Amino acid sequence: MKKIGVIGYGNIGEAMISGMLKSKFTVPEKILVSSRNEKKIKYAIDVLKINVTRDNLSVVEFSDILIIAVKPIAMKEVLEEIKEYIKEDQIIVSVVSSVETKDIEAVIGKHKIVRSMLNTPVMVNEGMSALSIGEAVSYDEESLIVEMFQSFGQAEIVDEKYMDVITAVAGTSPAYVFMMIEAMADGGVLMGLPRRKAYKMSAQAVLGAAKMVLESEQHPGDLKDMVCSPGGSTIDGVYTLETNNFRGTIMKTIKDATRKVIRIREKL
């Protein structure tokens, strides 16, 4: 097992480490994270049983795989702090949105760099991660990193040019799905269904539908048609969604989120 370090141990770092531990990809003694968040530190020590420090350089020295999970605005400062201490054979994994590989290399030089985008469902081992693999990363190292990300969900290797739109499609979209589940449940409550049952049924319906898309490999439109009986309640609901520009609104949401990611990146 490689030693894994995380600089900027916040929600994403915690989600990744939790997923790795749940799936047995690694063990607590092979992990060291740096954080200044007292709540995160307490949970890391008391629940996850991992090692915690406030010193970023200790994490660099400890790790074979160094995960950087700080806010985009703090990325350059952190890279400047650690650049002289990065080891030649160390794999640098950035989960920092909007920061491109070339921007990392501009500070630390050529290293084994993997840029990634992932979403919060990694906390329940159902994350979606996109990986852009740097030229210096070997085939075996690439396989190891893919295995690490697959330990808490699905992982796809992509060209870095797609990262902005992937951030919108997979990174931001859980928030929209949570809103949809909440709205579905509210609709159930409106029609008399107890709230706890409404949340469970709505969430499971979304989970099951997503699983059908992934496992059947059928077009989502075909799966939708399977549910729509002539003159039935489902097609009536689909009609309501269409007359309220449901699909157009979702597409515009992804478009707007992508443009915001680009604007954030250009300001860094």
Boundaries of every domain in the chain = 4-166, 171-267
To the nearest 10°, the Cα dihedral for 242, 243, 244, 245? Answer: 50
pLDDT of residue 196 exceeding 90 = yes
Q: What is the pLDDT of residue 70?
A: 95
The per-residue pLDDT for range 44-74, each reduced to its tens digit, is 999 999 999 999 999 999 999 999 999 999 9
Contact at 8 Å (CB) between 90 and 66?
Answer: yes
Q: What is the pLDDT of residue 120?
A: 87
Q: What is the pLDDT of residue 1?
A: 83
CATH topology of domain 4-166: Rossmann fold (3.40.50)
Per-residue tokens: 202: 């709505």
Alpha-carbon span 210 to 106, nearest angstrom: 40
Contact at 8 Å (CB) between 95 and 117?
Answer: yes
Per-residue tokens: 89: 């054979």
Per-residue pLDDT averaged across 185-206, rounded?
A: 98
- Give the chain's mean pLDDT: 95
Evaluated on CA atoms 24, 173, 257, 251, the torsion sign reads positive
Burial of 195 (0-12, 13-18, 19+ CB in 10 A): exposed
Alpha-carbon span 49 to 60, nearest angstrom: 20
**pLDDT over 70, % of the chain:** 100
Classified as helix, coil or strand, 10 is coil
CATH classification (class only), 171-267: mainly alpha
Contact at 8 Å (CB) between 144 and 169?
Answer: no
Per-residue pLDDT averaged across 94-118, rounded?
A: 95
